[in-house]
A and B are shown apart, each in its own frame.
Chain A
Amino acid sequence: MNLPRQSPRTARANVLLVALIILGLSGMTAASTLFLVGQLNRQVARKQAWNECLVVSESGIEDGMSHLNQVGLKGLNSNDWTEDNGTFRLTRQLRNNRYSVSIVTNQPITMTSTGYVTAPYMTDQYIERVVQVIVTNVSGVFYGLVAKNQITLGGGTLVDSFDSTDPNLSTGGQYDSAKRRDKAKVASTSQGTDVITGTSNGSIYGHIGTGPGATINIGNYSIGSETWVDGSNPGVEDGYYTDDVNLYIPEIEEPFNSGYLVPGGETIDGEYYNYVLHDGNYQLSSLNMQASQKMLITGDAVLYVTGDISLTGSSSIIVASGANFNLYTSGSNVSLAGDGVINKTGSAQNFSLWGLPSTSLVKYAGAADFIGTIYAPQADFAQTGSADIYGALVAENIKLGGQGAMHYDEGIDKDAGGANYIINSWREI
């Protein structure tokens, strides 16, 4: 059978048509695939920019925290920051990105940072993310009782807290048992066994903490909130013991090595004092006070004792009203017995004992209540006698063996100006 033959010209046209259809389909497929890949690329770029924006925004918070901790609330209008009706602002460019951060100093202190990142494939549009934090002022290195190793509590020890800077939480800046708080912290960074031990009945109004995996042996101690402890509940209230203590406890360095005075005796108001310290820096090779010898501090004084310190008999160190005394020592032994340290300011912020790394033992057995702070991170601290402690302690090991109580002053360092601000709450808005 013969069929009518198409002309060669028509056949060539059919081939061309089929080829064009194939090419068209292939092109459409390739175009749609490229379009989808392009969309994926845009999606990835936008996600990267979105995540980058959070980093930029948090950079603003870091900048604000650094500024606040460096200059404190009173110096915020500095370092390129500007004030606008009580709000302090800064905008900083980071290559193509930027952040604007503001600090509102009304309580609670609020810091808000907006990060701007250039939107992908755009030149004049930005992705924005806003982070807001609430900042609080906390004590720098003092939390209550802090040890790098063991804490031993005995003799029915009472540990609680008050705030000398808040009239609602103290009376005239002094501890008042009617206004006590449950904010004391008894903490050890150790991860060992029986890191905190309580050898008999006792009370801790607040939290205890250890390093991860450590164990405690607190006997019949009652530890927790005011309600828990006042209700004579034995043991630790839920949530008042954690094993996540993670503190940096820096070593103390020499306060100075030149330009100091040597303290001498003086008669003041008809009474002779073996050492009198006014405003200034003083240094002694050792301090041994016996019988009724006395040291009087009348101004803002720093005394650096390069040897041991010993108070016996009825000797005493007297911090006069309005005075401020920082006692540094690099001696291995510090023994404060006799009448002890009589801090007439009544404020723990006005007397501090700083132990350099060579200080290995600090004992307090003075007759007077100890009002102050002790920071000797390489030393064993031991308290005997019946004097109470008002302030805070940091040591290698802490042993409270006397009849006295420990009242942690939450107000320590609060007004020190800077270096103590931390983020209390973080949210993205």
Chain B
Amino acid sequence: MRREIKFLIIASTLGIIFLALFIWFLFSRSLIPSSFTALPTPTPVPNIFYNESVAKKTLDLVQKRSTPSPSDATARTSLLARTNNETGTIFQSDSFSLIYLKTPDLFQAEILIPDIAKAKSDATSWLKSQGLSTSGICHLPLTFYLSQNVSNSLLQKNQAFDPLPPGC
């Protein structure tokens, strides 16, 4: 009987030790740090500058290039000849400045006057005078951006802005 008690004491001690080690083992495995779990607060953006459907359409025009009509292709080639097919300014007026960016292969027009509709109209009219159709302008592809003055006035007037040319 005494021998059994002694054995039980030893066995219990061993059991506790093993249990403690086992718990330590499991716990140490669960301490894997999470590299990043907190969801950040999105940067607040004025609604006038974000439109989901426009964002998707812009990306479509940039990424899904369609084959231009022969006349649009010719007109585009002529435009690029103005900068020797390199990045640079193609044309500038009082209301807009048109540039070509070689790496992404796209055109951008900076709007220089607060009358955005007029600046866009001036830009598309000039491009049409160079032989491009409305579809050809869309698929140049062309997007508009704003001078800082114009952006400031837009924000103050809470006026929405669409970076795509009219009709795209």
Do A and B pair up? The answer is: no
Chain B residues packing against A (C-beta within 8 Å): none
Chain A residues packing against B (C-beta within 8 Å): none
